[in-house]
Every structure is written in C-alpha cells, then in structure tokens.
Chain A
Amino acid sequence: MGKKMLNFEEQCKILNLLKSSSEQKSIEEMLTEFFTNPKLRHFNVCYSLSLLLQDKMMLSSTERLVAFAILHRSYSSQKSAANPFISFLVNAACDEGAENYERAFILHLLGFGNSNSSKEFLKQSASEYIKKFDPSSQTFPQKEQLQKQYLEKAHPEPYACLLKSTAVKNVLADPDVPPGCDANSAEFDLEPGAKSKLGSGDRDEALSGLIANLSLEGLIPHWIRPLPPRFPVDEELVWLNPDNNHELQWDQGMCADTSRGAAVRDLIAKALRGPLAPNQQEQVLVELANDPKLVYHCGLTPRKLPELVESNPLIAVDVLIKLINSPEIAEYFTVLVNMDMSLHSMEVVNRLTTAVELPKEFVRTYITNCISSCENIKDKYMQNRLVRLVCVFLQSLIRNRIIDVKDLFIEVQAFCIEFSRIREAAGLFRLLKTLE
C-alpha cells in the first residue's frame, strides 16, 4: 500500500496544533511551539495541511489560518520562490470564493505591500485576527501581480515524472447523508450528547482519520505491466542414462624398457651428422616400423630436419610419412620448403609426393623456390647441375601427375626458356608442349 505521509508523532502534532487554534494563544506562539521538534518533516507536514486546506469544509476558519501560517513558516528561511507551496499560497490569496480575512492573512504572511510591519499581526490569536479584520483596509492585488512577485524567480520545475506530476488528489468526499439533503448543512454535525441520527458524523474523527491516512502519492493513470510468461520447459528436464565407467589408468610407461627407443634416438642423432651405415639405417626403419609412436620420441624436431634430409634422406622420408598426422607436420613442411635446394631435399620431396598427399601450396612453393634457386646461383657449373636436377624433378612430378601443370605453366615455361641451353630443360619444354 502507499506510504503513509505522516508518522504518529507528526499526526499528533498537527492535531494538537489545529485544536489549539481556537484558543487565545498568539499565532506566533503556536508556530514556535510547533517547530520545536527538529525531526519534523516539513514537506510531509505541509503537504498534508495543503491537502486538508483544499477541502473548504474540513478545517475551521482559525485552523485554516494557522495551517497557512505553517505552510509559509516552514520555508520562510529561504526565498519565497523556493517554497514548494508558494503557488498554493498565491492561489489561495487570489481565491475569490474564499473569505477575505483569509486572503488578507495570506497576503500578510507573504509580506505583500506593508513589509515593515510584517510580524505584528502574528502576535494575536487567529480568532482575534478574524474578529479585528476590517475588509475595507485591505486591497486585493491581481493574481498576475502576485505571481510575478513571488513565482517568477521560482526555479524551473525540478525533474518530475510526467505520470506523477499529473497526479490528482486521491481523497473523495462521499457524504453519507439521506438523499436530498445538503451535505454541507450543519444539521448533520454531531452534537455532543445528542442522539446520533442518520447522516451525522463527527468532524474531528474524520479529520484525524484523514491525517492518519494521507499518502504522498496522489492518484495517477495506471499502466498495465504484463508479467512475462514463464519460459516453456522443452528439453530442459534432465533425463538420466547410466554413465560409462572410466577407471583410473595405470601408467604402463613406468620403468619401461626404453633401450630400443634410446638406440633409435642415438641413431637419429647420429643421422643428423652424417650418413648412417646401411645396417644402421635399416635398424632405424625397422624400429620405427615396430613402434608407430617411436617417431614422436626419436628426438627429431622441425629445426633439425634439414640436417637429416641432407645426411639421410631416406630416413627423413620415412619419418615424415609417419609424422603426417602429427600436429607438427606443417612446421616440418615449412622447414623443408625453406631449406636450401639440394639433391637430397628434392629427393625427399619427390618421394613424399608419391607416398602421401602433400598440401598443394607446399608443392607449389617448393617448385617456385627450386626455380628461383637456379636463377640466383652464381657458379655456372653448379647452376647447370641444379637446373638439370630441377628439370628431372619437374618431369617426374608432371609424369606422375603430382602437380597440375596448368597451375605453374607460365613459371615453368619461362624457366625452360631461360635455361634452354641445357638439354634437360629443352626436354621439359617439349613435355610441356605435349601437354598443352
């Protein structure tokens, strides 16, 4: 439910104040007494009073004066424009339907016209003020004039939500009187001691009830905010199936005989430094064949591949074929394609092409490298030798349909023409022509 605007203490305070307004205490006295409590929430108090004041019947004339005085005094330490109820006060002062003494009282409060004698009128009690009020002594200014004087300097309306700023008062008069009777007639007031009759009621009871129940929020238009639906349960329920049992595994590699592996490692290390004897070579190949995993543990790394290729191309071919599924194979290929052209590297590549499917890009790059190596070599003898090698290599690749000539046609043709003085190049050229 909406929050109550006033706590119990504040409610009592207001009720006492209103009750005492008919006494002979001076207004000033009452005000001072009222503001003794520092915990008082000025806005809440003033807002409740303003709501009560809006209902012309609810408060007696003296009570209204005191209430107006409170509205003014609560914010009197600041400029009048800072008073959130200033427009309420100004409107009340201009309300033609209101009693003149009330309007004059508000003008007095606001210090309109005779600002020097400002506080004098508060020294009397509210009833005295009404009694002594001389209608002829007071002129009532136009609303515009008052608004100009008190509201113009007002701050622009602070941010307020549209919905809330359009709120209307949520108190409705619902007089419970017999049909046809005037609800405002005093005949329905409850006389003390008199027998209650239909439609009679006690004002004080209503007043205290209102003060107790007023809420800060007025009535606003309401949006319907549909609650989002619950997400449907589709495949969400967990269906259970028996799990497969996975046992902890014993490490069979513990203290395993690694001598054979060690031998191969030694031989591979040796093979990096120079050609192995035929029986040694066979041992390596047999051991590698016996244990398909050995190749991963034989001590070869991509960086060492060039040495193996140069010293023992056949072992290199075997190892590379076995490593074809290794995640490192690309690295091996990169090393192979970038190493210096030589008979052995060509032999390795050639054998690889027949045994496994090599990445197309690798073969291409390799051939391009071969051709540019031939072009860049300075030593004429070495150049001739290399060109002849490359030509034979290319012929082999073409004949075995390892490469598609179309991919490299221009490059290879240019190479043949450049080295047409060499017999093998001319042969390659003829081969190309036949394929055209």
Chain B
Amino acid sequence: MDSRDSSSSLVPNRDGTAGDDDGVLSVTAALAKDAALYFQSRKLAECVDVLTELKTKKEGDPKVLHNIAIAEFLRDGCSDPKKMLEVLNNIKRSEELAHASEEQVESGSDVGNKVTSGSKESSSTTRQVSASHSASTIYTAEFDTSVISLNIAVIWFHLHEYAKALSVLEPLYKNIEPVDETTALHICLLLLDVLLASCDASKSADVFNYLEKAFGVGNVSQGDNGNILLQQSTNLVGKLSSVPSSSLVSDVSTPELAASVKASENPLSRTLSEDPLDEMFSTLDIAGQNLSRSADLTSPKELPRTTVDRSIFGVDLKLKLQLYKVRFLLLTRNIKLAKREVKHATNIARGRESSTALLLKAQLEYARGNHRKAIKLLMASTNMTDAAISSMFNNNLGCIFYKLGKYHTSAVFFSKALSNCSSLQKKKPLKLFTFSQDKSLHITYNCGLQYLACGKPIIAARCFQKASLIFYKRPLLWLRLAECCLMAVEKGLVEGSRPPSNRSEIRVDVIGKGRWRKLLIDDGISRSRLVDSVGKDDWTLGGDQEPKLSLPLARQCLYNALHLLNCSDSSHLKSLLPSNSSLEENESCDGASSKNPNHKSLVGIDSKPSTLSIGLVNSNGDLKEPKTGTNQEMIHNSVAYFADICRKENQMMKQALLANLAYIELELENPLKALSAARSLLELPGCSRIYIFLGHVYAAEALCLLNKPKEAAEHLSIYLSGPNKVESPFSQEDCEQWLVEKPIDCEEPNGGGAAATAAKNPSPEGTQEFMFLKPEEACGTLYANLAALYATQGELDRAHQFTTQALSLLPNSTEATMTAIYIDLVLGKSQEALSKLKHCSHVRFLSSNLQSNKSS
C-alpha cells in the first residue's frame, strides 16, 4: 500500500516513497511468478510451498490467501468442495469488510466536507477532499474480488447449484467492464453454462450478444487466422484515436495515438494564452476535423476486447462457442437452426472427435422425434471406457426408450446410467470436474418419471425427492410429486385409503338368513376420514427416508408449484413484451418433439442464412455489421419464440395444478377451497376443453356440498343441449392434442404393475400415460352428476332419466348405480333397487358372519 502513503500527502513524491518497498516488491513478485508457473504446470506441492513463503512476506494479502486455498484444494484432490466454498467466502468477506470500513471513512470525511464547504465551487476545500478521496480509491483499486467470486461460482457450478452460481455471477457480469479480459471471458463462459443449465434463454442470449460485442467472437470466424482478425479489429480500434488495446497491436495504434495526443496538445498549450475565445475556436475547429474522421467509425460499444489470453482463443474457443449456440438453439427448440449450426460445429471440429457435437446431434434427432436416428448417433459417439460418457449415453437411451413408450427398457438404461455414476464417484484422484460429471440426480429424476409411468408412485416419489435437491425450483417437480401422492392414494398404498379393488365396486353385507335376510349397502365411496395435514417428518427435501405420501402432501406440493409458477410468470412479464393473448391451444403440444415441429413463428429465422459461416475469415469490417444484425436477430427471435413456448407450457401446467388442487380439496372435504381452485381453473385464459370440463364438474360438486344446488346446476347445464341431453364436453381430438406422447410401437409385454390394466385393455404400455375419460365417458359422468344433483334436490323424475342415460354410457360406474338405487329407494321402489343391486356387475356380496367375526 505504498501508493496510499504517497497520495495521502498533498505533495506526492512517488520516487521517494517507492524507494524502500521496491526491494520487497521485486522479491514478492518473483515468488508470485514462480508460484504461478508451478500452478500452471500443476506442481501443486511446490506451488503451495512458494506461496507459504510468500505469505510470510505479505501477511494477510487476500490474493495470496486465495491462491493458497486454490492450490491446496487441488493438491488435496478436491475432496471437500463445500469446505472450499467456506474458505473462499471467508477470504472474500474479509476483503469486502476491509473495503467497507475504508468506504465508511471516506463517506465520513465526505459529510464533513459537505458541511464545511457547502458547494463544490470552493476550490480549496474541494482539493482537500479529492486528496483524501484518492487515498481511499486507491485502496478501492486494489479491491478486486472478481477471480475469487468466479472461483466460488465455479464450485457451485460443479455442484449443480446453478441458482447459487448465478447469484455470484450476475453481479460480476453486471460490472464486467473493469474485470480483466481473461477473467471476463471465463465469467461469460461459465455464466453461459449456468444459464443454459437453468434454461434461461433470454439471459443467455444477452451473454451471447456481449461475447460477440466484447470479444468479437460468435459472429466472426476466429479460426486459425485469429491473429489476422485481431489485427483487423484493432486496426479498426486504432482509428478511433484513443482506444488501442493489446501490446500486440500497439505498433499499429501508437502513431495514431501519438497524433491524437499531439493534436490535443495544441489547444492545451493555448489554454495559457490570453484570449480564451481564440482557444475555444481552435478546439472546436480541431473537433470539427476529428469529426470527419470519426464519423464512419463504429462506436466504442462495438470494441472487441482483444487482450485475452491467446490460449483460449482459436479453434477450441470457436468450437466451444458454436456448441454453446447449438445448445442454446436446442433449449429454445429452434430445431431447424440447431440442425444447421450443429453441422457447422462438426465442420469446425474438422474430423476431430467431438463427443459433445455427436451427443448434441443425437439430442437434435431425439427432439425431432427421429428416435431411430438418435439411437444410431448415440451408438456412434460412445466411448464406453469413460464412465461419465457412458452414464450420459445410457441416460439418453433411457430417454429415447421412454419416448418410444418402452418404459421397462428405459428403466434398464436409467439404472445402468446410475451405476455408471456411482463408479465415477469411486474414481481417484477426484477432480472438481467429477462432481459436475456426476449427473445422478438428473438421472434419478428421469427414473422418477419412468416409475410414475409404470404406476409405481412410492418409488417414483422417492426419486423426485432425491432430485429435488437440484430441481426444487421447477414447478413440474412438485406437480409430479403431487401426482405420486394421488396415484398412491388411488392405489390404496396410503394409510387410510382403501385398496383399489374396493373403490370400484359396491359392497353389500348380507345379514341374516331366510325371511330375516337383510342387505346392508356399504356406502363405500364415502371415504374414511383422511388426515388433513402434513406431518413434520413426512417429507424432507432430498431426504433419504421414504416420503409419506398423502393428499395433504399433494396439496402442499401443488401450492409450491403454483408459487414457483407465479414467480416465473411475473419475471417473464418483466422481461418480455406483452404477447398477444390469443392462443392456439395445441401449439405448445406440437412443439418441438412431434414429427412435424410447428415453427410457424419461426419462418423469419429459418429463411435467414447462418451467420457463422466459415468463409468469413478474410472478411473486412464492413461485412461485420449486417452479419451481426442477423445473428442477433436470430438469437432474439429464438428467445421470443422460446418465451412463447414457456408461456404456453406454464399455462398448461397451471391448468393441471389447479385441477389437481380442486380434486384434492374435494377429497379432503374442503368444498370451499375446491370451489375456489375450480373457479381459478375456469378463469384461466386459453384453458383446454378437458380442463374446462374438470373445472365445471369439480365446481358443481363443491357447490352441491356447500348446499348451493342451483349454482351447481349452472355449471353442469352448460353442457346440456336439450332438456335432458348432454353434449360432449370435449372431443377425441382434444385428448390427442393434449396428449403429446404417443407411444410409437410396443414390442414388450407388460410387467407386473401394469398387468391389470393391460389385461382389460389390449393397448400398449403407453395407455398408462393417459388414463383419462373418453369423451363419451365424460358425457356419462355429466349425466351421473346431473342425476345426483337432481336427486338431492328431490327432482326424482329428472334424476331418474339422467341416471338411466348415465348407466347406458357407464354401465360399470358404481357411482351411477348407487345414485340409481338411491332414487329407487327414495321413490319407495325397493324391489327395483334390489334388482339393480343384484344385476350390477360391480357388487360384492359379503356374508355377515365373516364380517362380524372380523369386527369382533
């Protein structure tokens, strides 16, 4: 801090103060250089030794402490990244604390000055202030935590903690101008990875644009001729009279610079002259001359950063950025462009094996629904010796087989992928990269989906619970957990819920014999009371113990999802222009995954030529401008298109969430809450007809439970076309549009869990996916509910008609049968009720002896 001493005195004497410290400086500088060399050649033990020596000379220097921490961490095999984070954060905090206290001193002196001087004009005091300021700002200049922050973010990134990495990176990126080039590039690339991993298209587009602007990459080919380009761009810069950059180009720019300095000397010398006006004219004249020159120059905003470390430029960076771009386009589901860009990537790689490029290609085909081709590409890319690669390979195959509707095959691949991951963990020595290569939580999420599809809710929930460690911010995770709960309750796997066989049949206790025989209809559908709260231990984020699935837990999950969805909605609103609210319901479904991707809104992008063409190496600055435009336009359009997709997906998800919520509240006997959920569902813009149907049915039941049969009738009578005729609430097409997944073929026999459904229904495994009412069944449901509604109101004739129609459409419905029996009993037709009971296929007669034995 020698410089500080010098500046705090009003008459700085640089030469004098520098004197003594010079010796120390050179020794430490030499040590630092040695340490850096050791570090680069990964001689970490030696590096730490040198640093320790350095530490004794520069006690408490945060940068020394930082480098020691880094070197030791790598030397010790990266065993405890969490602890490393702690260490780094402590160093950063102590540096910030020191800085903050300095600032306080500064602001303190500030106040004093404002009081005494009052206005800025009083020059003598101002000078005093500036002197004291400069002292603290020099300290500020030493205060640079960009590298340490970057390293903190790097560790979070490897631990898959993208939100945390982002919270460190975003402030860095916001203030990236002062950061040195190499670090800045690292920050941008890491930020891009984090943003892509967290599916943030609009921010990654922003970083793309910045990279392009600041480093001149992305839109111009750096290629093998990077130097040429660099010179070109710096020539460009040099013309700007004052902004040359790297030493490499200083030859070119110095004459210019000197000229500009000389030019500016003129007016300066004249400042001393008597007539200020003369001088003014001269300056203005000069300015006028300058103008003619600078008019055709690009603005400094376009200035490339050119002093970046040579090593990270060149083909590697170019390929890297190209692959980023492909990932970005895949994220935004801009399939066509992704296809083009991935080709360029392979061109850039020039035959060198790039497994990333191949995997991206496979992903592309997967996204297009070309599953066979995707499998082929995966097979070509695999280097089976590498555990990390083979875990990805297996996982991706699992995804493909899932999409093919072969859930059991996909399960095999997912579990293979998981075992690859665990072998990865055992590999020594550990590298930081190993942590990020361990994608077991991602794979576990896929497993969860697969188990859910196979009808195994408890183990699926366990997978989602584990995956929640990284996915807890995704609303979809919580929706899936709620679905696990619902399925578990439905299957009778939950304490207090009935086994599934009891749900779909009427139980009748036969009591007594002969003339005394009585039939006691067990009103099975009225459920035993379910607990209406989530226990403390029922659920923990990422917990290891089995989650206790229940309806209240499902409700909690749905609330989480709704909250997250609303958060993301409001943030989307901020960043996006209001888009037209007219919706085509099926568009998002068609999306990218179906065979003919729906890219209506992308026509503009598609027709544009790719901007990353190889032939640009020798292009001059003039060509750059329109190219940049196209590239940015493409990115911009992709972002807008993706935002639209996201909006639609969120809308769809919201429908599902509210429908599930209404259902659960009805199950938990909270008709008021069920009603409000159903009403919110009906108010959603662009709600699909299936969910509108559910919304009306749930709302009607809730209203009936709240003793408002009239209002309930309004919800149901929407579908009445005649006095007693119900029209179909949705069509088969609606179902198909809503259901994206269509199992393409199925060669496998069903296994265990699905066997029961398969026996009844000869369709493939995929039917598990969409177990919803057919349109005619929905009609039947409406008839049955209208019957129930009118029966409660005492309009038995009407109820009777509806129940007949319901039973003709849903002959196996317990509910409709029960309502029919009810109506008979109220009308006093007990003989008819008896005959209905005896003819219903879903009745189980139980002998009373058995029962009384059981209960005693």
CB neighbours (8 Å) of B822 from chain A are 168, 219-222
CA distance A185 to B522 in the complex (A): 28
B245 and A273 form a contact (CB under 8 A): no
Residues on B with C-beta less than 8 A from A300 are 137
Asked if A194 is at the interface (CB within 8 A of a chain B CB), the reply is no
Contact assessment for A224 and B813 in the assembled complex, using a CB-CB cutoff below 8 Å = yes
Q: Report the minimal beta-carbon distance from A195 to chain B, rounded to whole angstroms.
A: 13
**What are the residues of chain B within 8 A of A307 when measuring CB–CB?**
126-127, 130
Q: State whether B7 touches A269 (Cβ < 8 A).
A: yes
| B180 interface residue (CB < 8 Å to A) | yes
Instruction: Pick the residue among A171, A232, A356 that contacts B299 (CB under 8 A).
Output: A356
9-residue interface stretch from A26-34, A67-75, A106-114, A314-322:
A314-322
Contact of A385 among B277, B399, B849 (CB under 8 A): B277
Within 8 A of B (CB), among A322-376: 322, 324-327, 339-340, 343, 346-347, 350-351, 353-357
Interface residues of A in 405-422 (CB under 8 A from B): none
- Total chain B interface residues with beta-carbon distance under 8 A: 219
> Considering the complex, which residues of chain B in the window 605-653 have a beta carbon less than 8 Å from any beta carbon of chain A?
649, 652-653
A214→B512 CA distance, assembly (Å) = 13
Do B356 and A242 touch across chains, with their CB atoms under 8 A apart? yes
Whether B12 and A266, one on each chain, are in contact in the complex, defined by CB atoms closer than 8 angstroms, is yes
| B522:A2 contact, CB within 8 angstroms | yes
A242-265: contact bitstring with B at CB < 8 Å (1 yes, 0 no)?
A: 111111111111111111011101
Q: In the bound complex, do residue B514 and residue A200 qualify as a contact, i.e. CB atoms below 8 Å apart?
A: yes
CB distance from A232 to the nearest CB of B (A): 5
Q: How far is the CA of A304 from the CA of B132 in the complex (A)?
A: 12
A223 to B180, CA, bound (A): 69
Whether a CB of chain B sits under 8 angstroms from the CB of A435 is no
* A239 in contact (CB, < 8 A): yes
**Choice from A219, A246, A296 contacting B158 with Cβ under 8 Å:** A246
**Which residues 283-332 of B have a CB within 8 angstroms of A?**
283-284, 287-288, 290-291, 294, 299-301, 303, 305, 307, 320, 327
Let me know if A230 and B769 touch, CB within 8 A.
yes
Does B756 make an interface contact (CB < 8 A)?
A: no
Residues of B within 8 A of A222 (CB): 525, 784, 788, 814-816, 818-819, 822
Residues of A within 8 A of B676 (CB): none
Check B437 against A206 for contact (C-beta < 8 Å).
Answer: no
Separation of A290 and B794 alpha carbons in the complex (Å) = 93
Residues of chain B within 8 A of A214, CB atoms compared: 520
Query: What A residues does B833 contact at CB under 8 A?
Result: 172
CA distance A184 to B299 in the complex (A): 107
A379 within 8 A of B: no
Q: Nearest chain B CB to A203's CB is how many angstroms away? A: 5
Best-buried of B267, B291, B320, B516 by chain A (most CB within 10 Å):
B516
If A177-B515, A219-B822, A289-B243 touch, does A351 touch B287 (CB 8 Å cutoff)?
yes
CA distance A212 to B520 in the complex (A): 11
Cα separation A296 to B176 with both chains bound (whole Å): 11
User: With A and B bound together, what is the CA distance between A158 and B825 in angstroms?
Assistant: 25
Which residues of chain A have C-beta atoms less than 8 A from B377's C-beta?
A: none
Measured between alpha carbons, how far is A184 from B516 in the docked complex, in Å? 9
Say how far B201's CB is from chain A's closest CB, in angstroms: 13
- How far, in Å, is A2 (CB) from chain B's closest CB? 5
A141 at the interface (CB under 8 A from B): no
A292:B243 contact, CB within 8 angstroms: yes
Q: Could you mark each residue 112-156 of chain A with 1 if its beta carbon is under 8 Å from any beta carbon of chain B, else 0?
A: 000000000000000000000000000000000000000000000
Contact B523 A215 (CB under 8 A): yes
Contact for B301 among A227, A325, A353, CB less than 8 A: A325
> Among B134, B360, B663, which residue has its beta carbon within 8 angstroms of that of A227?
B663
B248-291 interface with A by 8 A CB criterion: 250, 253, 257, 261, 264-265, 267-269, 271, 276-277, 279-281, 283-284, 287-288, 290-291
B18 interface contact, C-beta 8 A: yes
Partner of A183, one of B283, B515, B740: B515
Give bound CA distance, A263 to B819, whole Å.
93
A24 located at the interface, meaning its Cβ lies under 8 Å from any Cβ of chain B in the complex: no
Contact call A255/B32, Cβ cutoff below 8 A: yes
A249 / chain B contacts, CB cutoff of 8 Å: 70, 147, 150-151, 154, 183, 186
Asked whether, in the complex, the Cβ of A240 is within 8 Å of the Cβ of B439, the reply is yes
Q: Contacts A8-B856, A307-B130 given: A340-B520 contact, CB under 8 Å?
A: no
Residues of A within 8 A of B799 (CB): 221
On whether the beta carbons of A278 and B268 are closer than 8 Å, the reply is yes
Q: Which of B69-114 contact A (CB under 8 A)?
A: 70, 73-74
Closest-by-CB residue of A relative to B131 is A269
Contacts of B813 in A (CB 8 A): 224
Given contacts A1-B522, A231-B656, A239-B366, contact A246 B138 (CB under 8 A): no
With A236-B476, A286-B257 as given contacts, are A242 and B355 in contact (CB-CB < 8 Å)?
yes
Segment of B344-352, B563-571, B704-712 in the binding face: B704-712
Pick from A169, A190, A289, A290 the residue with the most CB of B within 10 Å. Answer: A289
Interface residues on A, range: 35 or more
State which of A36-44, A78-86, A386-394, A426-434 sits at the interface with chain B.
A386-394
Q: Are B818 and A221 in contact (CB under 8 A)?
A: yes
- Tell me, rounded to whole Å, the shortest Cβ–Cβ distance linking B64 to chain A: 6
Q: Could you say which residues of chain A place their CB within 8 Å of the CB of B442?
A: 238, 240
B381 (CB) vs chain A CBs: closest residue: A242
Judge whether B490 is part of the interface by a CB distance below 8 angstroms. yes
Query: Are A241 and B521 interface neighbours, CB within 8 A?
Result: no
B516-A205 in contact (CB<8A):
yes
A232-B738, A235-B593, A321-B242 in contact; A243/B819 too (CB < 8 A)? no
A263 to B303, CA, bound (A): 26
Name B634-680 residues within 8 Å CB distance of A: 649, 652-653, 656, 659-660, 663, 666-667
- Contact assessment for B514 and A269 in the assembled complex, using a CB-CB cutoff below 8 Å: no
Q: Is B379 among interface residues, defined by CB-CB distance under 8 A?
A: no
Q: Which residues of A contact B267 (CB under 8 A)?
A: 314, 347
Which of B67, B356, B439, B810 is close to A250, meaning CB atoms less than 8 Å apart? B67
Measured CB to CB, the nearest residue on chain A to B144 is A253
The answer to whether A244 and B189 touch across the interface, beta carbons within 8 angstroms, is yes
The answer to whether A228 touches B521, judged by C-beta atoms less than 8 angstroms apart, is no
Query: Are A184 and B515 in contact, with the CB atoms below 8 A?
Result: yes
Decide yes or no: A265 and B3 within 8 Å by CB, A161-B705, A224-B813, A321-B243 being known contacts: yes
The 8 Å CB contact of B513, one of A8, A202, A241, A354, is: A202
| Residues on the B chain within 8 Å of A172, using CB | 518-521, 825, 830, 833-834, 837
Q: Does B216 contact A (CB under 8 A)?
A: no
- With contacts A242-B389, A278-B268 taken as known, whether A254 is within 8 angstroms of B12 at the C-beta atoms is no
Which residues of the other chain, B, contact A217 by a CB distance below 8 angstroms?
Answer: 523, 526
A-chain residues with CB within 8 Å of residue B299 when the two chains form the complex: 324, 356-357
Asked whether A203 and B521 contact (CB < 8 A) given A8-B855, A246-B190, the answer is no
B148 CB to nearest chain A CB (Å): 7
Residue of B nearest to A342 (CB): B276
Contact of A223 among B137, B399, B785 (CB under 8 A): B785
The stretch from B693-701, B720-728, B757-765 touching chain A is: B693-701
Contact present for B520 and A213 (CB under 8 Å) = yes
- Among the 9-residue stretches B220-228, B443-451, B535-543, the one with 4 or more Cβ atoms under 8 Å from chain A is B443-451
Question: Closest approach, in angstroms, between the C-beta of B626 and any C-beta of chain A?
Answer: 19
Q: How far does the Cβ of B329 sit from chain A's closest Cβ, in whole Å?
A: 13
What is the 8 Å Cβ interface bit string for chain A, positions 266-302, against chain B (1 contact, 0 not)? 1011101101001001100110011011001111110
Tell me which residues across on chain A come within 8 A of B512, comparing CB atoms.
201-203, 205-207, 209-210
Question: Could you name 21 residue pairs across A and B whose Cβ atoms are closer than 8 Å?
Answer: A166-B792, A168-B825, A170-B521, A176-B514, A188-B515, A200-B513, A213-B855, A221-B799, A229-B770, A230-B769, A231-B656, A238-B443, A248-B151, A251-B67, A262-B6, A265-B138, A272-B130, A292-B245, A297-B141, A347-B280, A355-B294
| Given A225-B698, A355-B242, 16 other A-B residues pairs in contact with their CB atoms under 8 A | A162-B704, A201-B516, A212-B851, A215-B520, A221-B799, A221-B818, A226-B694, A236-B449, A244-B189, A255-B32, A290-B247, A297-B178, A321-B242, A321-B243, A389-B277, A392-B280
What 6 A-B pairs come out closest when comparing CB atoms? Answer: A206-B512, A201-B514, A296-B178, A201-B513, A209-B511, A206-B516
